[in-house]
Structure 1
Amino acid sequence: MRKKLPLLLMAIMPLASFAQSAQSKVSVHPKKQAVTKQAKPHLLAAPVAYCTPALDCTDGDLISNVTFAGINNTTTCSPAGYGDYTSVSNTTTLLAGETYPIAVTVGDGWPNENVSVWIDYNKNDIFDASEFTYVGNVNTVSSGLTVTGNIPIATGTANGSYRMRVRVAADGANADDNTLACDEEQGYGETEDYTLIIGAPAPTGCLTATNGQYPAATFTPNCNGAVGNITTAAWLNEYSKVNVIAGTTYTFSTSVNTYFITIGNEAGTAVLASGTGSVTYTPTANGVVRFYSHLSSNCDGTSSSHTRSVKCGTPPPPPTACTDFKTPSNNRENGGFFGGDTAQRLAIDIPVGSTGFTVHGMEPIVAGDATSFSFKFYSNNAGLPGAEIATRTGIIQSSVVTGTAFGYDFKKYTVAFDSPIDFTANTTYWVEVTSDAVAWESTTVNRLGSPDVFNNSGTSGAWVAGTTDYVFNLACSSLLAVGDASNTKFSFYPNPVVDYLNISASTKVESVTVHNIAGQKMPVSAKLVNGKVDMSRLAPGIYIITTVLEGGKKESFKVVKK
């Protein structure tokens, strides 16, 4: 039995027809001797598929080209004046209720070469009068003349394949006779049949699933423009169920771009869309679809593990303020390991907009306990980390458990940088986070900027784009944008401090406040006691000390608490 691996350890699919009869007719073609034919009796015949007219196109009463909806068929005189080109169909999509131009090039056998078209909409193997369109004629003797007109596709026509008959006849007296689709009486002309495809052709695909459904739950995409992994442990010949919303375009894909994808209805009885590697589908009603993956369109494949993903919607607008830079948790969906046997490294991007800002720390959510964090900052190089531009040591301020998954507590750590870093407007930065925690929580649902990147022994030391985003937010409190109290008439020591911080000034210190890196006020006495602030009960980390001196002057400075 296969083992599903939820935590990503590395980089992170009619009745009988009647024979036509007529009174004896005489051709009026001036170039040809009059031809008289005997009237045919009314015979009840067995059902046949479409009549085959017999005309004479050897004297130039012919069709030399038909151009219609992507059909561009150049021909010569067909045997007995009939050409079966039903293997030729339109490449332009035809829709019911719309009108499309047609051009038919005729010969020079007669100055009145009339062009007519029938489309068998009711599929009864008969070209009825109601299915007739008169295109037009030429009234001069010259080769290569083209008759143009328009063919309206009947309103309400169902999607599917239909036979179209195109007829040219040297018959000025019957220019618009809608009964001549099977004519053998007039004698001079040519008929050609084609296949029309109206509407989108029914898709083909694979609805077999020898490995059943996986996962058992129906996946609901978060349509924010990000790729959502339905499962990272999919097998071939298997399907997943996905909730869809009418009018929303969904892109279904597999991690192997040669795998064949089929989107079926919820019952698995009809193909809605199909393709290789990636398929786009827009449902017309809310509901559930099946997402199948196979090795090929032969509906084969067994147990090759891969990822089935779906994307919909548009990304949110880029963040503008420091506090907007965050990737929320998706209920501990997954995670990328720190270090390990593959020496894995993990990084995220910070696409700064039109306003720059200063960053004082980060709050990542990680799996397992952490005692250390460090940060490297890189320039952007074609969507990947480029040159290293800065490093910062992390000072853990606090942590809180956000939940448990995969056998680990997930914790949100508030980590201060040992010194702030300025991010310039209209610049993308990459931040690599290193920690002795087990893994960094990741999500396929929420997205900030580009997907995460990773670098491990399997990538030959190169940064590679993943398919998730790591969970974090930046620490941006304005309380941290302070100086270091360098005024010679004001001093403080020791720094770092363990228990008591000494403060001296040339004027009286009226009050003292202490805030942590997140801007929270600490429960410390507002008055100095013997020139000291008691910090013994505070957790290790970086704090901002603000003093108000006699006369209202303020001094603020940073202190590291061990």
Structure 2
Amino acid sequence: MRKFILLFLSATFVIIAFNIAISDSSPTERQKRSLVNTRIDNNGYWKKAAKKGLTVLNPVVKVPTAVYTGNTINSRAVVFDNSPDVPVTTEPSTQSENSIFVDPNDNLVALNSNNSTPANGGSVYGADYLFTEDFAATWDGSINGPNGSNSGDPAACIGTDGRWYVGYISNGGQGVSYSDDQGDSWTKVQVAAAPGTGWGDLADKNHMWIDAKQGSPYENYLYNAWTDFGGPFNNEIVLQRSMDRGETWDTKVNLSGAINTSGHCQGVNISTGPNGEAYAVWSIYDNWPNDENSIGMARSFDGGATWEPAFRIIDNIRGIRNSGVPQNMRVNSFPVMAVDASDGPNSGTIYVVWTNTGVPGTNTGSDRDVYLIKSTDQGDTWTDPIRVNQDPIGQGKAHYLPWITCDASSGILSVIFLDNRNTTASQAEAWVAVSTNAGETWEDFKVSDVAFTPSPIPGLASGYFGDYLSIHSSDGKVYPCWTDNRSGQAMGYVSVFETINLVAPFALLADTDQETGEVTLDWQFNGGTGFEYFKIYRNGEVVSTTTELAFTETLVDYGYYLYEVTAIFVGDQESLPAAAQTQYGTSTIVITPESYTAVLNPEATDVQMMHIHNTGVLDLDYSLSPFFGKSSIHEYEVAKGGGDEYINIVRIANLENYSSSDLYSNNSSLSANLNKGELYPIEVVVANAYEGDQVKVWFDWNQNGVFDETAVILNDDKRFGVFIGEVTIPQGATPGKTGMRVRLSSTDKLSAYNDTQYGEVEDYSIVIPSWLTLDPDTGIIPPGDSLMVNVIFNAEGLTIGSYYYEVEFITNDLFNPSYGVDFTLHVTDIQLSVSADPAEICMGESTQLLTNVSGGSGSYTYSWTSVPEGFVSSEPSPVVYPEVNTVYNVEVYDGSVTIESNTTVIVHELPVVELGNNETLCGETQIILNAGNPGQEYLWSTNETTQEIVAMGTGETMFWAEVINEYGCVGYDTIFINFAEIPVVDLGADTVVCGGAYITLDAGNPGSNYLWSNLETSQTIEVDTSNFGFGLQDYSVQVTTQDGCYNDGQITVEFVDCTGLNEVSNLEMNIYPNPSNGVFNIGLSASINDPVEIIISDQTGKVVYELSNVVISNNSLKVNLNGYSDGIYGITILQNGSSLTSRVVLRR
């Protein structure tokens, strides 16, 4: 933003300028603003400007209802936990910009002064005086200024002698009123006149302090400081001192002159040390209207008689004066200081707090946090900034308008600030942070009972809701004071509490032996009255107590541990803790493979897989450090704006930046991550906007260092405060980091270059993913687990060549907090295609591998391998005989680049055809044969085409089947079937042979194998009574042919004594049918008239059937043996001592 410096050389100059501006016509809005000094905060100034028509004051608006959140204070540093908010007055008015001071002789008494106005937003009463004598339970005083109205900016003090003081702006200069009767009457003293004679000359943003240390060589000295706008010390911090209790004041001293800023100094704050040291700090604006960028300091060691040259105590910070907060109120980052004037171990320590955007030194992001620096050597050196508010960092929350106090009795620090950690973005609560160990550690807690919505006070300067809060403490009693509008109008509230004067341990260190788990704690402690012992906490649980300044224990379980050490005092009172974190065990990152290479043709992509393993005992938390985004971008030609409107917020993708005013801001260290082809909304918020303002955005898509592409035009919200548009990232955008320019201007013709009279230019970076992307790029992996990460190589937009990058993985692995992995991309014009002809074969077949290479040097070498392993070749097109599905990889090297590809050969199994073993069928003429493999094609030797056939034949016959599967693979099987005959074995009918004779039995079937019941193996045998004697003899034989078919034959031969019945009577007995199914006939060859006896016995000789005195008529007798089992039975006919025998075979 353009720096518009008004020198106000004289009232005449201003009046002439103003008259010129309005002589012929009404001035434009821009002309009006050019005639006001935006550095000045004072309401009196802005009310004057409004009367002149140069600005507009806050309108009357309805204030949103506050949300009650409770009056409990949750803190170990506080005696009681309930502290309801008490308004400092019940009279209709607004109370803002608070100042409070505790009587050093009576900590139940406190003097409060605020900017006071009528409730309806009328005239300004100025700095008023209100007081309590009962620890803020009730309040008295007046909402009017002491000795009449003034221009506000209150500063309250109380001396050790009981005199009360209120400082304020008076008649453009500085005034102080004092009272020796607790506010019943006041005496007004004009400390300094206005610094100049112009209507806008003003002594602004004053602070007054009193040396209230009893015994100080400069006890009750008063120091009053402010910024002179106008006069010889224009834009400088000046101070006047009173050595006689405010009745007279020394000559003005320029404190900030040695800073040599090109801007201005403002927001002075004064404090004194235990030996009368006097210190003043303030904000430095080197490039107004940018935010605060430094803090300056001046000091005196002789009661303010002389002051050393001013110097900067911290540089490279970024306040919030112009970049603002989400709440609807103007803000600042004026530093506030406290000095430990106690007699404790930290006596003399100087503490300074302010609000910073992001982390000091980095100064980016949407966090606004309260930070503290301290000095233990009277300001010669300072610590690194310490974050005061204790909510998680990086959440985009706002903590602002801090004020600090140091209890002169104990050195306990208390800081008040507004905070929206638990509210909506537009709301706020009052919070206090307390430290009992010299600011090393803090405990913060809510003190307001409500969450309220700040809203500018009607009738006052634009955005004004009070420019500072206040807090003061004495002998443990703490008075936080702030402004909120829960009642519908701005009112001052106090919510007192009492700190416990318990000295806390500090500088706690925790060291863990990773081999044994032994933890050693060491801390420091300055002692304190009533101290008894230390209490050791591990993860919130008490694990031990000790009186030593060290503690050791051995951990059993791996994990992360928070140790806290508190001091316990008499009465079991416990101090705030000193805290330290440690861990036993670690995650262990292992990445496989360890490096990645891709060879791609232009515009091609490749995805590989990365395995991240956690072989440790704790969760592995990894993220990628920005890689391509770390590279620098072109230095673009600078273009500047001017005037007082400026770009306040820029939002696109992950980028959200708050900024104050400058002509040109190079924010190229801030980047937005954008993907090709995706659409992104862009939002630009403008401060001090004018009607007709416009915003355009340029992108250097081709990275040629020039914004020559068509601009993205953003649309205004009709009030010109918010501009919104969209951009789609072109597919042809060059990957990597490049520039984005955001430009605000008025109705001027807007281009990417050349300076404009009005507006502002801000440059940023955008990062378009380049040739390498890892997805996901962050993750948490449990112990023993792993994560698959896509490694995406992308050659889009890249020229032929090689690209290399080492990506850094940031981990919580104790031994590998930074783990590097190499990635290489070769972009080449070599074209390689690989195939197999054919690509699918049947088992036992071959295929030829084919390569088609072009580009590169034209001379290539080949290297083939396979998966599964076993094949290597250096031929361009080898023939292979795979037995299983196989991937063939080939690397082709042209002398500089190796490119690889692969092809897969599918090997199909042959159909398995199993017709069975060759078979002989005895006495059968057919068999069913099945080729299996349902659903395939079939061909049999019989020309049949079904899966199953009925095979028929005689003798030995061959059958074959051919099966063709869906891949054309053929399976085959053959079977021989012998359709053989069963041998016929006929030994003849059972017969009777007379003793002494023999009979020849013939089994027939020459060439077969024989087995007789008498174990003979010849085709024929001769049988007689030589071995058996008379009686029935059974003979059987099993005949097996050469085909393996067999059959049995049986015969019963009865050997008889031929001198029996049959011989005498010449009778013969015939049994038929024989074999029989149980019923048979006994036939005789001649008639027998006399009765006979018939006996039938089984093979054991047991009689089973007997008939006596039977007359066989008609030469035949029917016998029924159906109830008997199969077998051979002997039949004997007896008559008159003679017998006739035979046998029957029962076979069913």
TM-score range, shorter chain: 0.3 to 0.5
TM-score using structure 1 length? 0.33
Instruction: Choose 1 or 2 for highest CA Rg.
Output: 2
Higher RCO by CA contacts (8 Å cutoff, separation 6 or greater): 1
